[in-house]
Amino acid sequence: MCSSDLEAQARAVEAASTIAARTGVPQHDIAVILGSGWAPAARLLGDTVAELPFTDIPHFAAPTADGHSGTLRSVDADGTRVLVLLGRTHLYEERGVDAVTHGVRTAAAAGCSTVILTNGCGGLDPDWAPGTPVLIRDHINLTGASPLHGADFVDLTDLYSPRLRTLCREIDPSLAEGVYGQFRGPMYETPAEIHMLRTIGGTLVGMSTALEAIVGRAEGLEVLGLSLVTNAAAGMSGRPLNHEEVLAAGRASAERMGALLARVVREAR
């Protein structure tokens, strides 16, 4: 492992030690990163034991996107200790890949064996109305960035845990699966870029998750990815995209997503 990966891990250990001290929970079992539209689902996860702002945790930054509160919560889900991050740093914030993946590294340093990555995204399948949750089966990293440093040849076969996807489909048999294309953003795509993504096999599009999932695998975590389709991808609906519909789709689907997350965190082990 190269020195910058070790430095990133050291920053995560520092963050994890603050989290343990401030929450009174020495070790967590599973981490959930809540993206656009997912915040209303958070309260269904379990009992909040402690809450602190990202700005109190070493090397975390307050998110700049609407709907990302920048709060860490320790939640007790019938004995499973859940580390919930409400909000994340995106590549387009220009804090660098290590800032984007610090939450996942911190989850590993805090003792988690599983990370659930959620996001709000565009859908390329016309069957997915706004408010449809979709399991991520695989991703295409279109950012041109790598979250790993040096000659770290990490295998990404089955990156998105087949075991946890099966569990999700047992909980909700109507869940579809998709391939997530991560763009850098912050602009949404052009219709031609969506055409390209569809051509190479993508069915979901967003600005997060893939880089975090890669680090999850590199850190030995089991990774689950859950997308909430909040809008049809550019050029599909004939209407421009806007962030308000993202937040509205989250509010409308909170119960379904919260119920799914609540069962997954209890049954993941």
Smallest gap, in angstroms, from Cβ of residue 202 to ligand 8IG? 11
Q: Which x/- pattern, by CB under 6 A, does the window 16-35 give for ligand 8IG?
A: --------------------
Hey, CA dihedral for 198, 202, 205, 206, is it positive or negative?
Answer: negative
Residues 24-83 that bind ligand 8IG (CB under 6 A): 36
C-alpha to C-alpha distance for 130 and 11, rounded to whole angstroms: 38
Distances (CA, A) of 158 to 65, 162, 219, 222: 30, 7, 15, 10
The reply to whether 183 sits near ligand 8IG by the rule CB under 6 A is: yes
Catalytic-labelled residue, pool 51, 93, 170, 189? 189
DSSP-based three-state secondary structure for 103: helix
Closest to ligand 8IG by CB, 223 or 229: 229
What is the nearest approach in angstroms of ligand 8IG to the Cβ of residue 136? Answer: 14
For ligand 8IG, what does the binding mask look like between residues 211 and 240, x meaning CB under 6 A?
Answer: -------------------xx-x-------
The candidate with the shortest Cα–Cα distance to 105, out of 221, 183, 19, 194, is: 221
CB of 89 to ligand 8IG, least distance (A): 15
List the alpha helices (DSSP H) in 63-128: 97-109
How many distinct helices (H) and strands (E) make up the chain?
Answer: 6, 9
Cβ of residue 68: shortest distance to ligand 8IG, in angstroms?
A: 11
Neighbours of 89 (CB within 10 A): 27
* Residue 189 a catalytic site member: yes
Annotated catalytic residues are 189
Interface positions with ligand 8IG (CB under 6 A): 36, 120-122, 183, 185, 188-189, 205-207, 230-231, 233, 241, 246
